[in-house]
Structure 1
Amino acid sequence: MDDLEEHLGLHKHLVDDDGDSSDNSSTLRGKKLRLPLVQPMFVETKKETGFTQSCRMCLEQIREAMLHHRWQEAAEYMACYPQILEDKACYTTKQYKELIWRASTEILHHHPKSTIEDYNIIYERLKHSGFKLYLKVSLEHSFHLMLQGKFEDAKQHLAAAESWRYGKESSAQIQRTKLIQAYRSLLDFIIWSEKKVVLSNNNTVDALSENQSMHNYFRQASVNLKGILSNPGVWDPFILSYVEMLEFYEDYEEALKVLNDYAFDNSFPPNPNAHVYLYKYLQRHGAPQKKLIHVLKNLQLLVPSHELMLEYTSLLLQSEKQKNTQKALGIVLEMLDFACWRNNLDVWMCLKTIIDKLQTEDDWESIISEKMTLRKEWWPALHFTRFHANKDSEENPELLEVKAPLVKILCPDRTLKYYAEPVTRGK
């Protein structure tokens, strides 16, 4: 709707109010306030033709109909509005075409009787109207076909867009072409997955031909999916698709290389999911504990509140090293720095286990004190108030039982009221 308002000229600069007033509230430091004045919807100019004025009025009707959800009326006006593209005097043709694209698809999305043929007609007209939004429209068209489950049709449209060129290729056009190639490969993966399910559930099909067909889709998809790693970015669904296919064909070395590159290549933006995918893969394939810890260490640096930090802590405690036990203490305390874990029984039980293990060491008090130095001023208000005690007593008594003994250990120099008030019963 912002595009419509922009084209209707609704956003105007504020102008001075020339009215005279003796009210002190209308002045500020000796200057009059700049108040917005109501602007007319249509302003006739000497250069505006009747045709242009009619188109502006039509756009206003489209806007009003969309605002009031009168989708049939909006569709009828939108059928006439594209005539503005025939105005040779219009120097903002590209803007009008994008506005037609956005408004038309919005109307079709809400119109109760719209069909996929209507979408196809709109997208095809826009793609072949001779402007530089061809790739963006093609990509959106394929998304709509994917949502309708028409994967083969979506793939055909993306293949056509992949080979499309307009004048000298710009950097933006190159990037969009790469994105289209990636999504076309993702569609190959989806079709490959469907064939895999059919093959596994139906023993009567020709296994040899189905396997060959699946492998063809794998080869088509793998070319561009592998090439994604040469373009820094967040490519989660594409990487996962490629790894799934590599695992199916037992190419575990290549799958591990892809996930390692995705997680640790410094040219890529920091992405916690990349480390999660690598950890899950290593876990599935029985990787040694040392490798799992290394991956989770990097994830902890990015997201100290991640749910996998409990697994990280568990792995550290299994090592039976005092250094790792201290590290586990810091990880759990960092989790509890976030309110989302405040009432989680598993995290508090993990903290209790770590402290019980540390108490076998002579310097356990100094270790805990060091970790709590920066927390002692604000942790009590986050975890150990009378309010928290009463709430834990009502909602999770086991949590109160775990937390209560930890108060004096974590905050030995503070007198805290983390205990539930006795319940008074009427006679």
Structure 2
Amino acid sequence: MLHHRWQEAAEYMACYPQQLEDTTAGPGKHYKEMIWRITIEILHHHPNSKMEDYNIIYEQMKQSGFKHYLMICLEHSFYLLLHGQIENANRHLSIAESWRHGQETAHQYQRSKLIQAYSGLLDYIIWCDKKNAPTKTSSTTAGSNKDIHYDFRQASVNLKEILKYPGVWDPFILSYVEMLEFYDAHDEAKKVLEEYAYDSMFPSNPNAHVYLYQYLQRHNAPARRLMKVLKVLHYLVPSHELMLDYNSFLLISEKPGDIKKALGVLLDMLDYACWRTSMDAWKCLKDVIDKLQLQDDWKEVVAEQMTARKEWWPAMHFTMFHASEDAVQRPQLMEVKASLTKILCPEMKLTYPAGQITKDWRI
């Protein structure tokens, strides 16, 4: 395998199925997972491997013992899914979902819940395919709608059940919410997203707040409601691209103090190198400062925000290298940054390199 000699590796592995059938305390009993992993890896790389070979190995491994049964079923379903056999993959998961062996351990319980989650996800995929399939005649519409609704019930039972357990369930949440929206169950969809975002049972997950914000935005929620969601997201990920939306809400808000918050939000974004050359972020910052300058205390507000940044912000944004690069590649960004330098860093003086625009950044 290390030398990619897959044909020879397959020939050596051919003898191991006999070990799997050995009921004595031999190597096959102790190394079943290793045999499973290596055999599948060889099949992935062997130029002549067929789907039938995979199916034989997976079924053989399932019958070799119960310890890895659920995970082998899940992997088998993934393989079938990748090859377009959605119904067949779902059938295998349904079998695994009802499988039990002896007294259920905590480990087995967790895996069974994972099987249940993916079973619901495959039901959702089948629901999507049927929902998007064109109906040829009106006489088939009633029966088609009945089948689609049946698939919705199948999927929703498993997807709703999995949300009772802590974890990061992003694709399952999105699938469930999409189905609820399709059937106009908006209150239930919003409740699911709110619980996923705010229930302490679930681990901290910025995506949960993104999904809630996007849902509320689709359904024309009030600006204040959207801002509450973005406020939490700002705490979790201050560099998130939705902070531009948050800034827009704060900028048009008439609540005292929101313009100051907007300044903090944008400076927090620009603390991260990924936004250093973003025209959108710098333009928003200029808009905020322009509005902030209408207040008598604007200098104090800016100084308060920049106090902790004055030692390292100039090196991050306002060096001669940045000036030279921006002048050539991003002249519009250069103009915006030049107009903000004196305001953000009043003690700093930088001049563009000779041969380019000789212009003091303090002007």
Q: Which residue of 2 aligns with 1:88?
A: 24
Matched, 1:151 2:86: yes
Q: Which residue of 2 aligns with 1:419?
A: 352
1:126-275 equivalent positions in 2, closer than 5 A = 126-199=61-134, 202=136, 206-275=140-209
Partner amino acid, structure 1, of 2:296: D
Q: 1:188 to 1:205 in 2, by over 3 A?
A: farther
Residues in 2 aligned to 1:94 and 1:279: alpha-carbon distance in whole angstroms: 51
2:53 to 104, 118, 143: 118
Deviation at 1:217, TM superposition (A): 0.4
Query: 1:80-116 CA distances to partner (integer Å, 9 max, x unpaired)?
Result: 13334438343x6444111110001001111111111
Residues in 2 aligned to 1:218 and 1:255: alpha-carbon distance in whole angstroms: 14
Is the partner of 1:404 in helix, strand or coil? Answer: helix
Residues in 2 aligned to 1:350 and 1:405: alpha-carbon distance in whole angstroms: 13
Q: 1:151 to 1:182 in 2, by over 3 A?
A: same
1:326 to 235, 240, 260: 260
Following TM superposition, the consecutive aligned residue runs of length 4 or more in structure 1 with deviations greater than 2 angstroms are 81-90, 92-95, 201-205, 418-424
Query: 1:201-255 CA distances to partner (integer Å, 9 max, x unpaired)?
Result: 6556711000000000001111111112210100011111111110110110100
TM-score by length of 2: 0.95
Q: What is the root-mean-square deviation of aligned Cα atoms in Å?
A: 1.5
Partner amino acid, structure 1, of 2:115: I
Is the partner of 1:140 in helix, strand or coil? Answer: helix
Q: Is the 8 A contact 1:132 1:166 kept in 2?
A: no
Partner amino acid, structure 2, of 1:355: I
Is the partner of 1:422 in helix, strand or coil? Answer: coil
Q: 1:403 to 1:79 in 2, by over 3 A?
A: same
Q: Which residue of 1 aligns with 2:360?
A: none
Residues in 2 aligned to 1:217 and 1:131: alpha-carbon distance in whole angstroms: 30
Matched, 1:105 2:40: yes
Query: 1:143-170 CA distances to partner (integer Å, 9 max, x unpaired)?
Result: 1111111111111111111111121110
Is the partner of 1:320 in helix, strand or coil? Answer: coil
Partner amino acid, structure 2, of 1:144: Y
Partner amino acid, structure 2, of 1:133: H
Matched, 1:401 2:335: yes
Residues in 2 aligned to 1:272 and 1:176: alpha-carbon distance in whole angstroms: 25
Matched, 1:349 2:278: no
Deviation at 1:306, TM superposition (A): 0.3
Q: Is the 8 A contact 2:23 2:29 kept in 1?
A: no
Q: Which has the higher contact order (CA 8 A, sep 6+)?
A: 2
Is the partner of 1:230 in helix, strand or coil? Answer: coil
Q: 1:159 to 1:89 in 2, by over 3 A?
A: closer
Partner amino acid, structure 2, of 1:126: M
Q: Which residue of 1 aligns with 2:294?
A: 360
Partner amino acid, structure 2, of 1:213: D
Query: 1:51-101 CA distances to partner (integer Å, 9 max, x unpaired)?
Result: xxxxxxxxxxxxxxx1111111111111113334438343x6444111110
Deviation at 1:322, TM superposition (A): 3.9
Query: 1:326-384 CA distances to partner (integer Å, 9 max, x unpaired)?
Result: 00000000000000000001100000000000101100000000000000000000000
Deviation at 1:397, TM superposition (A): 0.5
Q: Which residue of 2 aligns with 1:42?
A: none
Matched, 1:74 2:13: no
Residues in 1 aligned to 2:249 and 2:154: alpha-carbon distance in whole angstroms: 40
Taking only the aligned residue pairs, the percentage that are identical comes to 62
Q: 1:112 to 1:418 in 2, by over 3 A?
A: farther
Residues in 1 aligned to 2:306 and 2:118: alpha-carbon distance in whole angstroms: 49
In structure 2, stretches of 5+ residues that fail to align are: 358-363
Matched, 1:291 2:195: no
Residues in 2 aligned to 1:203 and 1:366: alpha-carbon distance in whole angstroms: 71
Is the partner of 1:136 in helix, strand or coil? Answer: helix
Q: Which residue of 1 aligns with 2:361?
A: none
Residues in 1 aligned to 2:328 and 2:301: alpha-carbon distance in whole angstroms: 33
Is the partner of 1:206 in helix, strand or coil? Answer: helix
2:274 to 320, 337, 340: 340
Aligned residue pair count: 356
